[in-house]
Amino acid sequence: MEFNKFQKKLGVTLPNEYIEFLKEKNGGIPEPNIFELSNEEIESFSVTDFFGINQKKLMI
């Protein structure tokens, strides 16, 4: 399975919730992509992409 190869190559274990997200969406672009934080040193941040796992693009 490509998730196992991906995790082994990176030396990490992805959370099950993220694996399920990737199985359903295989990445994506969030909308809205700017998230406000309250009472933090950083007031907001932007997320442009969630990377998916695609055998053609993933060099395993």
Helix/strand/coil (H/E/C) assignment for every residue in the chain: CHHHHHHHHHCCCCCHHHHHHHHHHCCECCCCCEEECCCCCCCEEECCCECCCCCCCCCC
In this structure, are residues 50 and 27 in contact, taking their beta carbons and an 8 Å threshold?
A: yes
> What are the backbone angles phi and psi of residue 41, rounded to the nearest 5°?
-65, -35
pLDDT in tens, 1-50: 577 888 898 899 989 998 888 788 776 777 777 878 877 677 777 877 77
What is the token pair recorded at 38?
């309250």
pTM, full prediction:
0.48
pLDDT in tens, 36-46: 887 767 777 78
pLDDT of 60 strictly over 70: no
CA dist 29 and 12 (Å) reads: 23
Q: Which residue has the higher pLDDT, 17 or 59?
A: 17
